[in-house]
Amino acid sequence: MIALSLLVGAWALVEALRDRAPGRGHLIGLGVVEVALVVLLVAAAFAAAGGDRPASGVTFLGYVVTIICLPPLGAVLARLEPTRWGSVIILVVCLTIPVLVLRLHQTWQVVTSG
């Protein structure tokens, strides 16, 4: 998941450095990231239903809402900005997602250790 997001981010960085706008491929990349996020969260929901719950359900939910909104937000803004800065937007989003996934992971780990 993290690697996937970083990959799309790296691609966006290359386009930004080449002074190019994000293409259809980047939007598809963001779409793939979004789908992967949904899959991850559905898996998390099943784990939670199975009794393996995060320490703070509310915190977890907070991160989930934030993280799910990111790829669509990035895609909309990137389409509004058909310049190199559109690529920068995708880069920023793709750098933020791994951080949030790591945080999400942390909220889960507190449980297993305690």
Partner 1 sequence: MAERTAPRTLGTGPGRALIAVYGIFALSATARAAVQIGSKFTEAPLAYLLSAFAAVVYIIATVALAKGGETWRRVALVSCSIELAGVVAVGLLTIFDATAFPDDTVWTDFGRGYGYVPLVLPVIGLLWLRYAGRNRAAA
Footprint of partner 1 (CB under 8 A): 56, 58-59, 61-63, 65-66, 69-70, 73-74, 77, 80-81, 83, 85-86, 88-89, 92-93, 96, 99-100
Q: Cβ of 30: how many Cβ atoms within 10 Å?
A: 25
Least distance in angstroms from the C-beta of 100 to partner 1: 8
Least distance in angstroms from the C-beta of 97 to partner 1: 10
CA–CA distance, 102 with 104 (Å, rounded to integer): 5
Nearest to 106 by CA among 76, 71, 62, 50: 62
Least distance in angstroms from the C-beta of 93 to partner 1: 7
